[in-house]
Amino acid sequence: QVENSKVSAEYGAPPIVVYEKRDARWTLKDKHQIMLRHWEQTRAVAEELRADRAQALLVDFDSHLDDLRRDWTNPELNARIAELRAPAGAGL
């Protein structure tokens, strides 16, 4: 679950809460048992996408159902993310 109030470039920790199913109930997972790899890189990419207003590229499945020409797998947005994730000079 994303905590929208904590989504910002200044917030240092991942803005998520993780739940796990135990005995047919969803319970909050201990934050000390969660390992998020590449958090700093993820935060930098998300900030760049936000600054570029990349959300305009996002096509959700409902939008796809309204217009089947719109690709809900988001190849354009995924390409932008891959470009931002690539280390500088990696393509040279």
Instruction: Say how many Å lie between the first and final Cα of the chain, rounded.
Output: 38
Element (H, E) at 74: none
Q: Which of 3-7, 8-12, 26-30, 57-61 has the lowest mean pLDDT?
A: 8-12
- Which pLDDT score, from 0 to 100, does residue 42 have? 83
Whether this prediction's pTM lies above 0.75 is answered by: no
Q: Are 74 and 58 in contact (CB under 8 A)?
A: yes
Question: Would you say how long the chain is, in residues?
Answer: 92
In tens, the pLDDT along 21-67 reads 989 999 988 877 777 778 888 888 888 998 999 989 999 999 999 99
Residue 90's pLDDT band (cuts 50, 70, 90): low
Q: Tell me the backbone φ, ψ of residue 57, rounded to 5 degrees.
A: -85, -20
Residues 3-20 have a mean pLDDT of: 79
Residue 92's pLDDT band (cuts 50, 70, 90): very low
